[in-house]
Amino acid sequence: MTARTSAVLLAFALASRPLQGQVWHNVGGSATAAMLRFRSAASFGGEALSGPAAGAQARLVLGQVAVEGAYLQGHLTPDTGSTAARDLADATVFLVVRPVRWVALKAGPHLRAYITPGGTERWMLWELRARLIGELVPGRLRTHFEAWVAASADVNVDPGASGAQGGEAGLTLVPTRSPLWVRLAYTFDREKMKNGTRSESLEALVLSVGFGGP
């Protein structure tokens, strides 16, 4: 499924015309600071935790195709109650194609782990993402909205994963005569267990500073 999806995306990228003015290859990266909020809901109750996180992203662009990877790590503490605090580790690797300037399609694995003293909950997702990009001020200010679904989901907690989906909305500013860019975004994703017994959501207010093109 994933291999087929990747092949379709790659073929789509190669069949597309080159974007006018697009840089043929470059390397970019960013540093991220985020404020996280975790919610879980189950028939027997729920948890609410929040905390800061930090991470980094790297990207290699080859024409219309890019590979980008991101890692985020944070510490979540309970907002109320006696829920155990936990660490979060979140990593993604995506193959990205941009058939047109205002669309980016992504596919790749997404790993997430909640680490507690009593054990680690690991999610393994294969995601398909679509990002729409709008220019508010050409070359200076742009918005994006990204939505994704998990083509496959797995978790090491019974009864297992049934699916996941999420979205992100944000704004990117490229200051005049600066090699850096700044991005403010809000993300929300939800993972569901089988039989509807439990669901988890993780949302984040993300501030990124990057270089090499947003």
Residues at the site binding other proteins, with contacts judged by CB under 8 A: 35, 37, 39, 50, 134-141, 143-145, 165-171, 176-177, 184-190, 199, 201, 203, 205
Using the minimum distance from each CB to other proteins, give the nearer residue, 205 or 209: 205
Residue with smaller CB distance to other proteins, 143 or 152? 143
Query: Which is closer to other proteins, CB of 58 or CB of 173?
Result: 173
Give me the least distance between CB of 10 and other proteins, in Å please: 28
Task: Name the 3-class secondary structure at 177.
Answer: coil
- How far, in Å, are 110, 141, 189 from residue 138 at the CA level? 32, 6, 30
* Residues making up the chain, counted from first to last: 214
Q: Check if the beta carbon of residue 175 is closer than 8 Å to that of residue 182.
A: yes
In this structure, the number of other CB atoms found within 10 A of the CB of residue 131 comes to 18
- Give the DSSP H/E element, type plus range, for residue 210: strand 198-211
Q: How far is the CB of 132 from other proteins (least distance, A)?
A: 8
Q: How far is the CB of 24 from other proteins (least distance, A)?
A: 16
Q: Tell me whether residue 65 or residue 88 sits nearer to other proteins (CB atom).
A: 88
Strand pairing of 45-62 and 86-100? unpaired
CB of 141 to other proteins, least distance (A): 6
Q: Which of 88, 94, 143 shows the shortest CA–CA distance to 115? A: 88
Give least dist CB 27 to other proteins, A.
19
Residue with Cβ nearer other proteins (3 or 195): 195
